[in-house]
Amino acid sequence: MKIRPLNDRVLVLRIEEEEKTSGGIIIPDTAKEKPQEGKVIAVGSGKMSENGGRLPLDVKAGDRVLFGKYAGNEIKIDGVEHLIMREDDILAIIE
């Protein structure tokens, strides 16, 4: 399925964290928090400005990003869980 977010929305796939700590302790699924890091899959065309033009987004497909714990809405695409969020919900781009 192809999906293209509208306006300033971004489609993100969460990047799973390690299941072990640096000390070698295995973390069970019930104790894990959802990762706050992801890969941008698709971006919208940009936010509308007051004069009717489009303001381009800072993120692009393929960027690794950090986002807030409760940012975005979870959706399933072809059985894989993704997040769709506004660009404002993205805190940083990892370079």
Residue 40: per-residue pLDDT: 93
Q: CATH number of the domain at 9-17+32-94, please? A: 2.30.33.40
Residue pLDDT tens, the chain, 95 long? 688 888 889 999 988 765 655 666 766 656 556 668 899 999 988 888 888 888 888 899 999 999 988 888 999 988 888 999 999 899 999 88
Cα 73 from Cα 90, distance rounded (Å): 13
Q: Which residues contact 56 (CB under 8 A, 6 or more apart)?
A: 46
Residue 42: per-residue pLDDT: 92
The residue ranges of every structural domain in the chain are 9-17+32-94
Classified as helix, coil or strand, 1 is: coil
Residue 10: per-residue pLDDT: 93
